[in-house]
Chains A and B, each alone.
Chain A
């Protein structure tokens, strides 16, 4: 999976790489950027809101409004890798679908590369790429190569250049020897890698990656992260949604934490971690149920936030506490009668900041 340069797909000789192109095709903007070393935002989202209408009931049907995205605003600079972090069902995918022209926002405004996603969708589509996590979105009865060839024509790419580019992209995603096979025989990881090749086929300036490592095995996920880093090195503007904290921490320059359709925090991974810098995390391994003890634990003044993680046959209580090690004895007293394993006190991570932010909204 090398980062070898891939030929231009548009059949234009001497086209500069995307890293050298101005983000807005306007000479005044380009002039301003050069003179004042100022970078315009590649993506600008203002007060974005999306409401779904759902019908409830089989006989007496009534309609219910579900607010998926509730007035979010953020911006992404050119060449930046921005993370949208949040649990499942909080509006991350809906946001990406609005950014990629698949859904019309209920209200608010999105501008990408200076173009409005609703009014200028036609002009915008050739310049953006997207990947949605999971196995859907491919033609399973066609081969990997045919899938790419089909999407190449849908992006109006030069057929000869596409034919030359496909093997390079397949090599980049590690599918060189499987390209002629039908997609239905691919593993989940292989399908995901084919999605990446599809998204890069037209050399987009902006990429939207929605949970790209979802369901991948650790090696597949690691390889994918290498590809994402290489894309960032090519100065692509990337929006990544994920609920894997370490992934966001390792890849993103800035992160927005989203919960219940709203952005609850935004900043660099270090800035977000600083939210919990005054806290320590106490990890208590337990065996058996502790549901009856949770209200009392949460009521302790030394407990700021509490969550439970399942790890094989045991559970781990993750307690954020300003008291640190001093709170351990009080916590253990409340767990009297419960089989307790190892107890550890550690420094907080981005995941702890995330738990605090999401739990604080709960």
Chain B
């Protein structure tokens, strides 16, 4: 009963944090740029580079560009979520409330990922404009299911990075460094088979890799067993990253309270 009450409270915090984050983001020009404009630019560049490929590859480009947009916004807006709280002086307020900070950050990240999905829709529409017809999704049911799992997979990955922003405001400098390696290692725009063999284990620990593999497979008509395997790996990574997150947040928050890094520096 106590656990159920706690679960209900956490769920409410997640929903309200997501709602407030959405309201806040929709009035922020930087966020709008990150969600809509930047993914479109990346998609246009990808279309231009791969324009000579056959029509079957268009959907690969659409999904890949959409995922780059999804990752960029998750990384930048997710990081911004903590940095912004610190800047406005609300981070220490959040820490001093009874709601665990990682639950609040789940809500905020969920809002960001859901908003970022609009990048994929925008890229899909852009492909229709550029190529004169909307690309076809080979297995729409599997694609929808994979997309549904992609949301928590991205949230869990963003949550592993978020505590670092709590600990040290300087971590934001790493954001740029994290953007492109994840594009490449996750195989958003080209298969990881083209990369050196030693990078493969790195790809395997990234939830966006399994999300990209499932979504590319479902959109291009790949093997169902492989789509299922990718989704199972997504679920496993959600579980592992989720467990690590709560622990990491607790440790890092304690350290931040010792080192006084919750306020603007």
The residue in chain B whose Cβ has the minimal distance to the Cβ of A195 is B93
Which of B24, B92, B95, B97 makes the CB contact (< 8 A) with A151?
B97
* Interface class of chain B by DSSP: helix
Cβ-based interface call for B174 (8 A): no
Cβ-based interface call for A139 (8 A): yes
Interface size on B, residues (CB 8 A): 28
Name which of A53, A139, A149, A155 has the most chain B CB atoms within 10 A of its CB: A139
The residue in chain A whose Cβ has the minimal distance to the Cβ of B88 is A136
Which of B92, B99, B258, B262 makes the CB contact (< 8 A) with A153?
B99
Q: Which residues of B contact A136 (CB under 8 A)?
A: 88-90
Q: Are A155 and B98 in contact (CB under 8 A)?
A: yes
Tell me the smallest distance from the CB of B139 to a CB of chain A, in Å.
Answer: 39
The residue in chain A whose Cβ has the minimal distance to the Cβ of B262 is A102
Q: Are A150 and B88 in contact (CB under 8 A)?
A: no
Q: Which residues of B contact A53 (CB under 8 A)?
A: 259
Cβ-based interface call for B27 (8 A): yes
Tell me the smallest distance from the CB of B156 to a CB of chain A, in Å.
Answer: 22
Q: Are B9 and A156 in contact (CB under 8 A)?
A: yes
Known: A151-B97, A154-B13. A146 touches B23 (CB 8 A): yes
Cβ-based interface call for B17 (8 A): yes
Tell me the smallest distance from the CB of B194 to a CB of chain A, in Å.
Answer: 43
Report the bound CA distance from A97 to B261 in whole Å: 12
Q: Which residues of B contact A142 (CB under 8 A)?
A: 20, 23-24
Known: A104-B254, A125-B97, A155-B97. A139 touches B24 (CB 8 A): yes
Cβ-based interface call for B96 (8 A): yes
Q: Are B99 and A154 in contact (CB under 8 A)?
A: yes
Cβ-based interface call for A344 (8 A): no
Contact with A along B1-24 (1 / 0, CB 8 A): 000000001001100110010011
Cβ-based interface call for B104 (8 A): yes
Cβ-based interface call for B251 (8 A): no
The residue in chain B whose Cβ has the minimal distance to the Cβ of A50 is B260
Report the bound CA distance from A327 to B146 in whole Å: 88
Name which of A101, A102, A136, A154 has the most chain B CB atoms within 10 A of its CB: A154
Cβ-based interface call for A34 (8 A): no
Cβ-based interface call for A137 (8 A): yes
Known: A141-B28, A154-B13, A159-B12. A102 touches B96 (CB 8 A): yes
Name which of B98, B257, B258, B260 has the most chain A CB atoms within 10 A of its CB: B98
The residue in chain B whose Cβ has the minimal distance to the Cβ of A143 is B23
Tell me the smallest distance from the CB of B1 to a CB of chain A, in Å.
Answer: 15
Q: Are A141 and B254 in contact (CB under 8 A)?
A: no
Cβ-based interface call for A140 (8 A): yes
Cβ-based interface call for A103 (8 A): yes
Cβ-based interface call for B239 (8 A): no
Q: Which residues of A contact B95 (CB under 8 A)?
A: 101-102
Report the bound CA distance from A126 to B17 in whole Å: 18
The residue in chain B whose Cβ has the minimal distance to the Cβ of A137 is B89
Cβ-based interface call for B195 (8 A): no
Cβ-based interface call for A72 (8 A): no
Instruction: Work out how many contacts link A and B, with CB atoms closer than 8 A.
Output: 74
Q: Are B23 and A126 in contact (CB under 8 A)?
A: no
Report the bound CA distance from A137 to B90 in whole Å: 4
Which of A100, A141, A150 makes the CB contact (< 8 A) with B16?
A150
Tell me the smallest distance from the CB of A146 to a CB of chain B, in Å.
Answer: 6
Name which of A125, A138, A150, A156 has the most chain B CB atoms within 10 A of its CB: A150
Which of B12, B20, B96, B258 makes the CB contact (< 8 A) with A101?
B96
Tell me the smallest distance from the CB of A65 to a CB of chain B, in Å.
Answer: 13
Q: Which residues of A contact B41 (CB under 8 A)?
A: none
Q: Are A97 and B16 in contact (CB under 8 A)?
A: no
Q: Which residues of A contact B258 (CB under 8 A)?
A: 104
Q: Which residues of A contact B93 (CB under 8 A)?
A: 137, 151
Contact with B along A26-60 (1 / 0, CB 8 A): 00000000000000000000000000110000000
The residue in chain B whose Cβ has the minimal distance to the Cβ of A153 is B16
Tell me the smallest distance from the CB of A5 to a CB of chain B, in Å.
Answer: 24
Report the bound CA distance from A142 to B94 in whole Å: 16
Cβ-based interface call for A122 (8 A): yes
Contact with B along A155-174 (1 / 0, CB 8 A): 11001000000000000000
Report the bound CA distance from A85 to B93 in whole Å: 23
Report the bound CA distance from A134 to B257 in whole Å: 21
Q: Are A125 and B27 in contact (CB under 8 A)?
A: no
The residue in chain A whose Cβ has the minimal distance to the Cβ of B254 is A104
The residue in chain B whose Cβ has the minimal distance to the Cβ of A130 is B96
The residue in chain B whose Cβ has the minimal distance to the Cβ of A134 is B89
Tell me the smallest distance from the CB of A206 to a CB of chain B, in Å.
Answer: 13
Report the bound CA distance from A231 to B230 in whole Å: 58
Tell me the smallest distance from the CB of A152 to a CB of chain B, in Å.
Answer: 8
Which of B16, B24, B27, B254 makes the CB contact (< 8 A) with A149?
B16
Q: Are A122 and B254 in contact (CB under 8 A)?
A: no
The residue in chain A whose Cβ has the minimal distance to the Cβ of B264 is A136
Known: A102-B95, A125-B98, A139-B90. A153 touches B12 (CB 8 A): yes
The residue in chain B whose Cβ has the minimal distance to the Cβ of A106 is B258
**Other 12 A-B pairs with CB < 8 A, given A102-B92, A132-B89, A138-B90:** A103-B257, A104-B258, A122-B98, A125-B97, A134-B89, A137-B88, A140-B88, A141-B28, A149-B16, A151-B93, A154-B94, A156-B12
Q: List 23 A-B contacts (CB under 8 A).
A: A53-B259, A102-B95, A102-B262, A103-B257, A104-B254, A126-B98, A136-B88, A136-B89, A137-B89, A138-B88, A140-B88, A141-B23, A142-B23, A142-B24, A150-B20, A153-B13, A154-B94, A154-B97, A154-B98, A154-B99, A156-B13, A156-B99, A159-B12
